[in-house]
Amino acid sequence: MKVFEIGNGQTVIKGPSHYYSCSEGDSTVMLYKGEEEDEPVIRFSIIYFQRAEGITQKDIINDFKEKAVRQNAQFITHIGKSFFSYDSESQEDLYIRIFEIMYEENIIVVSLTATNEDKGTDKIKVYLEEITEMIKSIDSLSSLKFPILEPRYEDIDYLVTEVTKVLDVPGEKIAQYHESGKSVEILQDILTRRDYAINDYKYHCALGLLFGDCLQSANNSFHWVIVHDQYGRELALQYQDFALQCFPISMITKRIEDEVEINVTQLMDEVITHIESESDKDKGFTRIEHNF
């Protein structure tokens, strides 16, 4: 299972691990499998609004119920959410199923878009069942004990882009550089020579991302996640399914800021040894059920 951010990132959903996500504009997140061309896609969009003076929550819910009646749709409630769904006829050559959800005082619109040939198939039935479960899982980011989220496509694209800039190689060669140890050598050389402007924080972050990518390549028990908490939103590395993360960007940028000498290989070994010992010594260390 994965946890995805929707809207402005303060609302989350839980979905099957075979989905990936990317942003479409400021308020829409698309979920996709990436397995085939013309596959069905799911979009979550949040419509934020302020209640007009004199309008009560009961008035809003009654209006929402009346809309379900006009659509001849079943009105469903589930733990702080109300929703209904219907087929849209807006595109003749596509099958589109719309779900409208009232969550708190916002409206969330979910759409499933597929080819007409897929309409009514078992494949679409599974998609609709999964969407219903995702809708039921809608909650606030603050509800998560461990705010570890699935990276969006643009997060991984940013990671790859920054790493390729530092290594000065095409993206398809990154794995080769990691396997040969050349990426560690390049990073070490940059840090030893301090080949960066002291106030170029963006480049410092890129060095941190390269460090994290080297670490993940050296030990595939780590995987990239997004940690979204009171300090902000940052790419981090989670260890297996434990609630254990390290923050490679901060690890490098902080050391650069403090003008500390950095031995890349030694730092990698220290991180791996510390986290492995933490997970081994305490058999009751928290494991989380998502984003692994």
* pLDDT score for 106: 87
The string of pLDDT tens digits covering residues 273-285 is: 988 887 765 555 6
Q: How many CB atoms lie within 10 A of CB 225?
A: 24
Whole-number pLDDT of residue 26: 81
| Beta carbons within 8 Å of 180's beta carbon, 6+ residues apart | none
Are 101 and 107 spatial neighbours (Cβ–Cβ below 8 Å)? yes
Q: Are 61 and 75 in contact (CB under 8 A)?
A: no
DSSP-derived secondary structure letter, 143: G
Beta-strand relationship, 94-103 and 81-88: antiparallel
Predicted pLDDT at 58: 80
Angstrom distances, CA of residue 86 to CA of 70, 231, 246: 10, 40, 44
Contact 101, 110 (CB under 8 A): yes
Q: Which residues contact 105 (CB under 8 A, 6 or more apart)?
A: 49, 50, 51, 57, 60
67: enclosing H helix or E strand: helix 57-70
Q: Write out the two tokens for 288.
A: 């989380």
Instruction: State pLDDT tens for residues 18-33.
Output: 999 999 988 899 999 9
Give the residue among 77, 109, 106 at the shortest CA–CA distance from 90.
109
- Structure-block tokens of residue 190: 């940059």
pLDDT on residue 117: 93
The pTM for the full model equals 0.88
Q: What is the pLDDT of residues 229-268, one digit of tens each?
A: 877 899 999 998 888 889 999 999 999 999 999 999 999 9
What percent of the chain lies above the pLDDT cut of 70?
Answer: 96
Compute the residue count for the chain: 292
How far is Cα 247 from Cα 234, in angstroms, rounded to an integer? 8
- Predicted confidence (pLDDT) at residue 69 exceeds the cutoff of 80: yes
> pLDDT tens digits, residue range 201-211?
999 999 999 99
Mean pLDDT of the chain: 91
Is residue 166's pLDDT more than 90? yes
Which residues, listed in sequence order, are joined to residue 111 by a DSSP beta bridge? 43, 98
C-alpha 3/C-alpha 17 separation (Å) is 9
The pLDDT assigned to 243 comes to: 83
pLDDT in tens, 212-230: 999 999 999 999 999 998 7
